[in-house]
Structure 1
Amino acid sequence: MSFDNFLSQLKSKANELKTEALKFKNKDFLNAAMAGSALIAMADGSISAEEKQKMIRFIESNEALSVFTTSDVIKAFQDYVSQLEFDTDIGEAKAYQALGKMKSNTDAARLLMRMIIAIASSDGNFDSSEKRVAMHIAAELGVNPAEFSLA
Protein backbone atom coordinates (compact mmCIF):
# COMPACT_ATOMS: atom_id res chain seq x y z
CA MET A 1 0.00 0.00 0.00
CA SER A 2 1.40 3.35 -0.98
CA PHE A 3 1.62 6.25 1.44
CA ASP A 4 -0.95 8.19 -0.63
CA ASN A 5 -3.41 5.30 -0.38
CA PHE A 6 -2.77 5.05 3.34
CA LEU A 7 -3.32 8.79 3.78
CA SER A 8 -6.49 8.63 1.71
CA GLN A 9 -7.84 5.78 3.85
CA LEU A 10 -6.94 7.66 7.02
CA LYS A 11 -8.84 10.75 5.83
CA SER A 12 -11.79 8.59 4.85
CA LYS A 13 -11.89 7.01 8.34
CA ALA A 14 -11.69 10.44 9.97
CA ASN A 15 -14.64 11.63 7.88
CA GLU A 16 -16.56 8.48 8.84
CA LEU A 17 -15.96 9.17 12.54
CA LYS A 18 -17.12 12.76 12.16
CA THR A 19 -20.26 11.67 10.32
CA GLU A 20 -21.00 9.08 13.00
CA ALA A 21 -20.49 11.61 15.79
CA LEU A 22 -22.91 14.01 14.12
CA LYS A 23 -25.58 11.32 14.47
CA PHE A 24 -24.97 11.15 18.19
CA LYS A 25 -24.64 14.87 18.91
CA ASN A 26 -26.35 15.04 22.24
CA LYS A 27 -25.43 15.65 25.85
CA ASP A 28 -25.43 11.96 26.78
CA PHE A 29 -22.92 11.19 24.03
CA LEU A 30 -20.70 14.14 25.00
CA ASN A 31 -20.81 13.10 28.67
CA ALA A 32 -20.00 9.49 27.82
CA ALA A 33 -17.10 10.54 25.60
CA MET A 34 -15.65 12.84 28.26
CA ALA A 35 -16.24 10.31 31.05
CA GLY A 36 -14.32 7.68 29.08
CA SER A 37 -11.60 10.19 28.24
CA ALA A 38 -11.21 11.14 31.90
CA LEU A 39 -11.09 7.49 33.01
CA ILE A 40 -8.38 6.72 30.45
CA ALA A 41 -6.42 9.89 31.29
CA MET A 42 -6.55 9.00 35.00
CA ALA A 43 -5.74 5.31 34.49
CA ASP A 44 -2.38 5.67 36.27
CA GLY A 45 -4.01 7.34 39.31
CA SER A 46 -3.33 10.99 38.52
CA ILE A 47 -3.07 13.46 35.71
CA SER A 48 -0.66 16.39 35.74
CA ALA A 49 -1.45 19.90 34.49
CA GLU A 50 0.64 19.12 31.42
CA GLU A 51 -1.31 15.92 30.80
CA LYS A 52 -4.61 17.80 31.16
CA GLN A 53 -3.47 20.37 28.61
CA LYS A 54 -2.29 17.66 26.24
CA MET A 55 -5.61 15.80 26.62
CA ILE A 56 -7.67 18.94 25.99
CA ARG A 57 -5.63 19.76 22.87
CA PHE A 58 -6.12 16.23 21.60
CA ILE A 59 -9.88 16.35 22.24
CA GLU A 60 -10.20 19.76 20.58
CA SER A 61 -8.39 18.54 17.49
CA ASN A 62 -10.25 15.23 17.29
CA GLU A 63 -12.51 15.17 14.23
CA ALA A 64 -15.20 13.10 15.93
CA LEU A 65 -15.63 15.64 18.74
CA SER A 66 -15.38 18.76 16.57
CA VAL A 67 -19.18 18.86 16.32
CA PHE A 68 -19.28 20.01 19.97
CA THR A 69 -18.25 23.46 21.20
CA THR A 70 -14.79 23.56 22.71
CA SER A 71 -16.09 25.04 25.96
CA ASP A 72 -18.63 22.19 26.36
CA VAL A 73 -15.94 19.59 25.73
CA ILE A 74 -13.47 21.18 28.16
CA LYS A 75 -16.08 21.67 30.89
CA ALA A 76 -17.35 18.09 30.66
CA PHE A 77 -13.82 16.65 30.65
CA GLN A 78 -12.72 18.82 33.59
CA ASP A 79 -15.86 17.89 35.55
CA TYR A 80 -15.12 14.18 35.24
CA VAL A 81 -11.42 14.61 36.03
CA SER A 82 -12.31 16.72 39.09
CA GLN A 83 -14.76 14.09 40.33
CA LEU A 84 -12.12 11.36 39.91
CA GLU A 85 -9.50 13.44 41.74
CA PHE A 86 -11.87 14.33 44.60
CA ASP A 87 -13.18 10.80 45.21
CA THR A 88 -12.06 8.00 42.90
CA ASP A 89 -14.92 5.64 43.76
CA ILE A 90 -17.70 8.20 43.31
CA GLY A 91 -15.98 9.69 40.25
CA GLU A 92 -15.69 6.28 38.62
CA ALA A 93 -19.33 5.49 39.45
CA LYS A 94 -20.48 8.72 37.79
CA ALA A 95 -18.23 8.18 34.77
CA TYR A 96 -19.38 4.60 34.24
CA GLN A 97 -22.99 5.72 34.70
CA ALA A 98 -22.52 8.23 31.85
CA LEU A 99 -20.93 5.53 29.70
CA GLY A 100 -23.75 3.10 30.53
CA LYS A 101 -26.26 5.42 28.87
CA MET A 102 -24.69 4.48 25.52
CA LYS A 103 -24.93 0.71 26.11
CA SER A 104 -28.16 0.32 24.16
CA ASN A 105 -26.71 2.16 21.16
CA THR A 106 -24.16 -0.20 19.60
CA ASP A 107 -22.93 2.32 17.01
CA ALA A 108 -22.35 5.01 19.66
CA ALA A 109 -20.66 2.49 21.97
CA ARG A 110 -18.24 1.41 19.24
CA LEU A 111 -17.47 5.03 18.33
CA LEU A 112 -16.77 5.76 22.00
CA MET A 113 -14.39 2.80 22.21
CA ARG A 114 -12.50 3.99 19.12
CA MET A 115 -12.16 7.49 20.60
CA ILE A 116 -11.11 6.20 24.03
CA ILE A 117 -8.44 3.96 22.50
CA ALA A 118 -7.22 6.83 20.29
CA ILE A 119 -6.91 9.06 23.36
CA ALA A 120 -5.11 6.33 25.33
CA SER A 121 -2.71 5.86 22.44
CA SER A 122 -2.20 9.58 21.79
CA ASP A 123 1.05 9.63 23.77
CA GLY A 124 2.38 6.63 21.87
CA ASN A 125 2.03 4.31 24.89
CA PHE A 126 -1.12 2.25 25.52
CA ASP A 127 -0.01 0.70 28.83
CA SER A 128 -1.52 -2.12 30.90
CA SER A 129 -3.42 0.19 33.28
CA GLU A 130 -5.01 1.96 30.30
CA LYS A 131 -5.88 -1.40 28.73
CA ARG A 132 -7.55 -2.52 31.99
CA VAL A 133 -9.64 0.66 32.06
CA ALA A 134 -10.47 0.28 28.36
CA MET A 135 -11.64 -3.30 28.97
CA HIS A 136 -13.85 -2.14 31.85
CA ILE A 137 -15.28 0.62 29.63
CA ALA A 138 -15.96 -1.95 26.89
CA ALA A 139 -17.83 -4.09 29.42
CA GLU A 140 -19.86 -1.07 30.56
CA LEU A 141 -20.72 -0.26 26.94
CA GLY A 142 -21.60 -3.88 26.22
CA VAL A 143 -19.06 -4.29 23.42
CA ASN A 144 -16.63 -7.14 22.92
CA PRO A 145 -13.11 -6.07 23.98
CA ALA A 146 -11.62 -8.44 21.39
CA GLU A 147 -13.21 -6.30 18.66
CA PHE A 148 -10.76 -3.57 19.74
CA SER A 149 -7.75 -5.87 20.26
CA LEU A 150 -8.11 -5.64 24.04
CA ALA A 151 -8.66 -9.32 24.85
Structure 2
Amino acid sequence: MSFSNFLSGLKEKTNELKDEVLKFKNKNFLHAATAGSALIAMADGSIDSAEKQKMLKLIENNDALKVFKTSDVISSFTEFLNNFDFDKDVGESKACEALNRIKDNNVEARTVMRLILAIAASDGVFDQDEKIVAIKIAKELGLNPADFEL
Protein backbone atom coordinates (compact mmCIF):
# COMPACT_ATOMS: atom_id res chain seq x y z
CA MET A 1 0.00 0.00 0.00
CA SER A 2 1.40 3.34 -1.04
CA PHE A 3 1.66 6.32 1.25
CA SER A 4 -0.79 8.19 -0.98
CA ASN A 5 -3.38 5.42 -0.57
CA PHE A 6 -2.74 5.37 3.17
CA LEU A 7 -3.37 9.15 3.44
CA SER A 8 -6.46 8.89 1.28
CA GLY A 9 -7.85 6.10 3.46
CA LEU A 10 -7.01 8.03 6.62
CA LYS A 11 -8.81 11.14 5.34
CA GLU A 12 -11.86 9.04 4.48
CA LYS A 13 -11.94 7.48 7.96
CA THR A 14 -11.49 10.92 9.54
CA ASN A 15 -14.48 12.29 7.59
CA GLU A 16 -16.57 9.28 8.62
CA LEU A 17 -15.63 9.84 12.27
CA LYS A 18 -16.41 13.56 11.97
CA ASP A 19 -19.87 12.71 10.60
CA GLU A 20 -20.48 10.32 13.50
CA VAL A 21 -19.38 12.92 16.04
CA LEU A 22 -21.68 15.50 14.46
CA LYS A 23 -24.60 13.07 14.71
CA PHE A 24 -23.91 12.49 18.39
CA LYS A 25 -23.29 16.15 19.10
CA ASN A 26 -26.57 17.25 17.53
CA LYS A 27 -28.77 14.50 18.97
CA ASN A 28 -30.21 16.94 21.53
CA PHE A 29 -31.00 19.35 18.71
CA LEU A 30 -32.75 16.60 16.75
CA HIS A 31 -34.83 15.63 19.77
CA ALA A 32 -35.68 19.26 20.58
CA ALA A 33 -36.74 19.90 16.98
CA THR A 34 -38.94 16.81 16.82
CA ALA A 35 -40.32 17.37 20.33
CA GLY A 36 -41.26 20.95 19.53
CA SER A 37 -42.72 19.83 16.24
CA ALA A 38 -44.86 17.26 18.02
CA LEU A 39 -46.01 19.85 20.56
CA ILE A 40 -47.06 22.38 17.92
CA ALA A 41 -48.59 19.74 15.68
CA MET A 42 -50.71 18.47 18.58
CA ALA A 43 -51.81 21.98 19.65
CA ASP A 44 -55.16 21.62 17.94
CA GLY A 45 -55.61 18.07 19.23
CA SER A 46 -54.61 16.27 16.04
CA ILE A 47 -51.83 16.10 13.50
CA ASP A 48 -52.46 16.07 9.80
CA SER A 49 -50.25 14.81 6.99
CA ALA A 50 -49.41 18.38 5.85
CA GLU A 51 -47.88 19.11 9.26
CA LYS A 52 -45.88 15.85 9.19
CA GLN A 53 -44.61 16.47 5.67
CA LYS A 54 -43.69 20.08 6.40
CA MET A 55 -41.80 19.04 9.53
CA LEU A 56 -39.81 16.42 7.61
CA LYS A 57 -39.03 18.77 4.72
CA LEU A 58 -37.88 21.56 7.01
CA ILE A 59 -35.72 19.26 9.09
CA GLU A 60 -34.19 17.57 6.04
CA ASN A 61 -33.26 21.00 4.62
CA ASN A 62 -31.87 22.33 7.89
CA ASP A 63 -28.05 22.42 7.80
CA ALA A 64 -27.80 21.49 11.45
CA LEU A 65 -29.95 18.38 10.96
CA LYS A 66 -28.74 17.21 7.53
CA VAL A 67 -26.38 14.86 9.33
CA PHE A 68 -29.38 12.81 10.46
CA LYS A 69 -31.03 10.13 8.43
CA THR A 70 -34.67 10.71 7.62
CA SER A 71 -35.44 7.48 9.45
CA ASP A 72 -33.85 8.92 12.63
CA VAL A 73 -35.95 12.07 12.32
CA ILE A 74 -39.14 10.05 11.80
CA SER A 75 -38.26 7.75 14.68
CA SER A 76 -37.69 10.65 17.08
CA PHE A 77 -40.85 12.46 15.97
CA THR A 78 -42.90 9.26 16.27
CA GLU A 79 -41.54 8.64 19.76
CA PHE A 80 -42.77 12.05 20.92
CA LEU A 81 -46.16 11.52 19.26
CA ASN A 82 -46.44 8.13 20.97
CA ASN A 83 -45.85 9.82 24.33
CA PHE A 84 -48.85 12.06 23.60
CA ASP A 85 -50.92 9.03 22.61
CA PHE A 86 -50.06 7.38 25.92
CA ASP A 87 -50.91 10.46 27.99
CA LYS A 88 -51.08 14.16 27.11
CA ASP A 89 -49.23 15.23 30.26
CA VAL A 90 -46.48 12.63 29.73
CA GLY A 91 -46.15 13.80 26.12
CA GLU A 92 -45.79 17.43 27.14
CA SER A 93 -43.34 16.59 29.91
CA LYS A 94 -41.09 14.53 27.62
CA ALA A 95 -41.20 17.19 24.90
CA CYS A 96 -40.32 19.95 27.39
CA GLU A 97 -37.39 17.90 28.69
CA ALA A 98 -36.01 17.69 25.15
CA LEU A 99 -36.48 21.43 24.59
CA ASN A 100 -34.72 22.26 27.87
CA ARG A 101 -31.61 20.37 26.78
CA ILE A 102 -30.82 23.03 24.15
CA LYS A 103 -32.02 26.20 25.86
CA ASP A 104 -28.45 27.23 26.71
CA ASN A 105 -27.55 27.32 23.02
CA ASN A 106 -29.25 30.43 21.63
CA VAL A 107 -28.60 29.55 17.96
CA GLU A 108 -30.06 26.06 18.32
CA ALA A 109 -33.01 27.33 20.38
CA ARG A 110 -33.85 30.03 17.83
CA THR A 111 -33.51 27.58 14.95
CA VAL A 112 -35.89 25.15 16.64
CA MET A 113 -38.34 27.97 17.33
CA ARG A 114 -38.34 29.08 13.68
CA LEU A 115 -38.81 25.49 12.59
CA ILE A 116 -41.76 25.07 14.95
CA LEU A 117 -43.43 28.26 13.72
CA ALA A 118 -43.03 27.16 10.10
CA ILE A 119 -44.67 23.84 10.94
CA ALA A 120 -47.52 25.62 12.72
CA ALA A 121 -48.16 27.71 9.61
CA SER A 122 -47.88 24.73 7.23
CA ASP A 123 -51.62 24.17 7.12
CA GLY A 124 -52.25 27.83 6.29
CA VAL A 125 -53.69 28.61 9.73
CA PHE A 126 -51.94 29.79 12.90
CA ASP A 127 -54.77 29.58 15.41
CA GLN A 128 -54.96 30.61 19.06
CA ASP A 129 -54.21 27.07 20.33
CA GLU A 130 -51.02 26.96 18.27
CA LYS A 131 -50.04 30.44 19.44
CA ILE A 132 -50.45 29.40 23.09
CA VAL A 133 -48.25 26.34 22.51
CA ALA A 134 -45.69 28.39 20.55
CA ILE A 135 -45.41 30.84 23.46
CA LYS A 136 -44.91 27.93 25.87
CA ILE A 137 -42.21 26.44 23.60
CA ALA A 138 -40.40 29.79 23.37
CA LYS A 139 -40.36 30.05 27.14
CA GLU A 140 -39.13 26.45 27.50
CA LEU A 141 -36.30 27.34 25.12
CA GLY A 142 -35.45 30.40 27.21
CA LEU A 143 -36.54 32.75 24.43
CA ASN A 144 -38.70 35.85 24.50
CA PRO A 145 -41.95 35.08 22.64
CA ALA A 146 -42.13 38.72 21.49
CA ASP A 147 -38.98 38.13 19.41
CA PHE A 148 -41.15 35.84 17.28
CA GLU A 149 -44.18 38.17 17.22
CA LEU A 150 -46.05 35.99 19.72
User: How far apart are the structure 1 equivalents of 2:144 and 2:86?
Assistant: 31
Give the corresponding residue for 2:119: 119
Q: TM-score, normalised by structure 2?
A: 0.77
* Equivalence for 1:145: 145
Q: Distance in 2 between matches of 1:119 and 1:130?
A: 10
Correspondence list, 1:1-151, <5 A: 26-47=26-47, 51=48, 53-62=49-58, 63-64=61-62, 65-150=65-150
| Residues in 2 aligned to 1:71 and 1:46: alpha-carbon distance in whole angstroms | 22
Q: 53-62 or 30-39: which moved more? A: 53-62
Find the aligned partners of 1:133 and 1:60 in 2 and give their Cα distance: 20
Give the aligned residue type for 2:41: A
Is the Cα contact below 8 Å between 1:37 and 1:119 reproduced in 2?
yes
Q: Distance in 2 between matches of 1:77 and 1:148?
A: 23
- Look up the SS of the partner of 2:45 in the other structure: coil
Secondary structure at 1:58 match in 2: helix
Structure 1 unaligned segments of length 5 or more: list them: 1-21
Could you list the runs of 5+ residues in structure 2 that have no partner in the other structure?
Answer: 1-21
| Identity, % of aligned positions | 56
Mark the structure with the bigger radius of gyration. Answer: 2
- SS of the equivalent of 2:134 reads helix
> TM-score, structure 1 length as denominator?
0.77
2:32 and 2:125 map into 1 onto residues whose CA distance is 23
2:8 aligns with: none
Q: RMSD over aligned Cα, in angstroms? A: 1.9
Instruction: Check conservation: 1:60, 1:66, Cα contact below 8 A.
Output: no
Deviation at 1:56, TM superposition (A): 3.1
Q: Does the 8 A contact of 1:34 with 1:77 survive in 2?
A: yes
CA distance in 1, matches of 2:67, 2:127: 29
Q: Which amino acid aligns with 2:143?
A: V
